[in-house]
Amino acid sequence: MNEKELEKVLKALANKRRVAILKYLKHKERVSVGNIAHEIKLSFRATSKHLSVLFSADVVEKEQSGLTVIYFISNVKHPIVSKLLSII
């Protein structure tokens, strides 16, 4: 991982809402934006933006299922993401 990638991942993880999203995904695996928003008590729009940040940093992946977007933790974990997941 080069410095630019590391910076992107660290910035993505430096937010309590995004950490809450990862904690939820760790236990539920594959979840829609709406379900994540409901669980962490955040608006759909804000949750979607946080997920976009995590997606662009390759922390989470997504797949389209009809009109629903399903998110899950990326299989290609950065070491720092793996460490965070082990402690949350």
Structural domain total, the chain:
1
Question: pTM above 0.85?
Answer: yes
Residue 26 lies in a domain: yes
Instruction: Give the per-residue pLDDT at 19.
Output: 96
Q: Within a domain: residue 18?
A: yes
The answer to whether the Cα torsion of 14, 44, 85, 30 is positive or negative is negative
- Residue 59: domain span: 3-83
- Categorize the per-residue pLDDT at 84 as very low, low, confident or very high, splitting at 50, 70 and 90: confident
Binned at pLDDT 50, 70 and 90, residue 85 comes out as confident
- Segment 62-70 long-range contacts (CB within 8 Å, at least 24 positions apart): 68/32, 68/33, 68/34, 69/32, 69/33, 70/30, 70/31, 70/32
